[in-house]
């Protein structure tokens, strides 16, 4: 099974582990790259790590160089390819967009 989904917000101080980081919920991935940027375009986080099932291993914890980033919106960019050879074309945000390629970039809100 190949699928991918992305949260639109996260809260590092949450008592729920799944809400502590911004981590895509993909599986069956062969290649993967996640990048997080601030509003000035500074690269804050980058990962390509997948487990044996093709699931992303790590997520962004809202820090940069060990320092907590402020509550704000941050840009993400993802490149991914599934084990079955299909390319991940991104998220479709508007239900009226059916049949079109999705977005391989977007925003996530960091709550403090």
Q: Quote the pLDDT of residue 23.
A: 92
Tokens 């945000």 locate to 93
Tokens 């390509």 locate to 48
Q: Which residues of the chain have pLDDT under 50?
A: 1-3, 97, 99-100, 102
Q: Quote the pLDDT of residue 7.
A: 87
**In sequence order, which residues have a C-beta less than 8 Å from that of residue 79 and are 6 or more positions away?**
31, 32, 33, 88, 104
**pLDDT tens per residue across span 63-72:** 999 999 999 9
The residue ranges of DSSP E strands in the chain, in sequence order, are 9-10, 29-37, 43-47, 63-64, 67-68, 72-82, 105-110
């Amino acid at each position: 099974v190949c699928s991918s989904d992305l949260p639109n917000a996260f809260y590092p101080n949450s008592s729920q582990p799944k809400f502590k980081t911004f981590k895509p919920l993909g599986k069956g991935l062969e290649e993967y790259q996640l990048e997080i940027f601030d509003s000035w375009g500074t690269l804050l986080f980058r990962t390509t790590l997948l487990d044996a099932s093709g699931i992303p291993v790590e997520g962004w914890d809202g820090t940069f160089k060990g320092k907590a980033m402020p509550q704000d919106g941050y840009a993400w960019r993802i490149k991914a390819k599934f084990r079955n050879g299909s390319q991940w074309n991104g998220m479709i945000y508007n239900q009226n967009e059916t049949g079109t390629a999705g977005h391989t970039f977007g925003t996530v809100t960091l709550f403090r």
